[in-house]
């Protein structure tokens, strides 16, 4: 590594801290040549995960695209950026655990819907309307009815889990 200011390769690490995501390290460095300080980030490199789109084409998985779709769905809703970022990280982790090389947009959409269902029901319905390609008001009404039923049953979900296990 070289100093971004003078190109010298004699650098000293002043401070190292884990990143907020738990998967990176932030290092504060100082150049022995020009005495300027700068920050570097270290992150392990995951194997590439390809996304198979509906038309059959492929592209690299990008967590920022997941975050951006959640941000759109959560627009003008009381959902913090940090909540959306953490959800995007959980989705990425899940996908890398479940899939080795390729994942479909359908699977990514399902993961996003699961996360949004726990974060904000309005954002969940918004995302579902695009992801499931709603075409009529009846499509919205059916989804809203399903969400309302789930919300009504939610106080009893712990009982359902106890009965099943």
Q: Which of 4, 2, 105 is nearest to 49 (CA)?
A: 105
Q: What's the Cα-to-Cα distance from 136 to each of 62, 113, 148, 157, rounded to whole Å?
A: 31, 20, 19, 31
Interatomic CA distance for residues 119 and 92, integer angstroms:
17
Read off the pLDDT of residues 26-52 as tens digits, 9 standing for 90 and up: 999 999 999 999 999 998 777 899 999
Structure tokens at 103: 């994942």
User: What's the whole-number average pLDDT of the chain?
Assistant: 89
Q: Give the pLDDT confidence score for residue 157 in this predicted structure.
A: 52
Q: Give the pLDDT confidence score for residue 75 in this predicted structure.
A: 95
Task: Label residue 56 exposed, middle or buried (CB < 10 Å: 0-12, 13-18, 19+).
Answer: exposed
User: Residue 56 has what DSSP assignment?
Assistant: S
Averaged pLDDT, 60-77: 96
Interatomic CA distance for residues 117 and 122, integer angstroms:
9
């Amino acid at each position: 590594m070289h100093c971004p200011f003078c190109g010298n390769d004699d650098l000293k690490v002043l401070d190292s801290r884990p990143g907020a995501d738990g998967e990176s390290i932030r290092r504060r460095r100082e150049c022995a040549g020009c005495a300027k300080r700068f920050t570097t980030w270290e992150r392990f490199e995951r194997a590439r995960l390809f996304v198979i789109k509906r038309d059959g084409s492929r592209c690299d998985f990008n967590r920022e695209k997941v975050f951006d779709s959640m941000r759109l769905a959560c627009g003008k809703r009381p959902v913090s950026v940090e909540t959306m970022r953490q959800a995007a990280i959980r989705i990425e982790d899940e996908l890398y655990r479940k899939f080795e090389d390729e994942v479909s947009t359908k699977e990514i959409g399902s993961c996003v819907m699961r996360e949004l269902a726990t974060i904000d029901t309005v954002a969940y319905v918004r995302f579902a309307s695009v992801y499931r390609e709603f075409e009529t008001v009846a499509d919205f009404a059916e989804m809203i009815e399903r969400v309302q039923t789930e919300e009504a049953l939610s106080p009893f979900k712990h009982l359902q889990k106890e009965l099943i296990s």
